[in-house]
């Protein structure tokens, strides 16, 4: 599984994911446009964010996303309706 980390993550979290066979791609400074491009062309299964805004446009651009993880409290930075409409878990 390919995981896109769109915000800074603790090194131990990345190490644990990698040790379990996840391919982690870190892009903590990606703009909204870059996030859309990454999701459109990257074949990512999982998107992990902290404060990055995940718009309907970014979700629509994804070809293989199945899970969006908010590493923190709440999910007001994620368009949950758009994710749900595409069958993507949040």
What pLDDT does 5 receive? 97
86 CB-near residues (< 8 Å, 6+ apart): 59, 60, 62, 65
The reported pLDDT for the residue numbered 42 is 79
**Beta carbons of 52 and 77 less than 8 angstroms apart:** yes
Tokens of 55: 């718009």
C-alpha span between 33 and 20 (Å, rounded): 30
2-85: CATH class: alpha beta
User: Which pLDDT score, from 0 to 100, does residue 19 have?
Assistant: 98
- Residue 54 in 3-state DSSP? strand
Q: How far apart are CA 30 and CA 7, in angstroms?
A: 8
The strand ranges marked E within 27-75 are 46-49, 67-70
Q: Is the pLDDT of residue 83 over 90?
A: yes
Residue 77 pLDDT greater than 90, yes or no: yes
Q: Mind listing the pLDDT tens digit for each residue in 7-49?
A: 999 999 999 999 999 999 999 988 999 999 999 997 999 999 9
């Amino acid at each position: 599984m390919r995981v896109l980390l769109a915000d800074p993550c603790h090194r131990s979290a990345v190490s644990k994911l990698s040790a379990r066979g996840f391919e982690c791609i870190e892009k903590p400074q990606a703009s909204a446009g870059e996030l859309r491009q990454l999701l459109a062309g990257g074949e990512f299964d999982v998107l992990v964010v902290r404060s990055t805004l995940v718009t309907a446009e970014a979700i629509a651009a994804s070809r293989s996303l199945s899970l969006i993880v908010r590493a923190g409290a709440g999910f007001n930075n994620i368009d949950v309706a758009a994710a749900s409409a595409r069958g993507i878990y949040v």
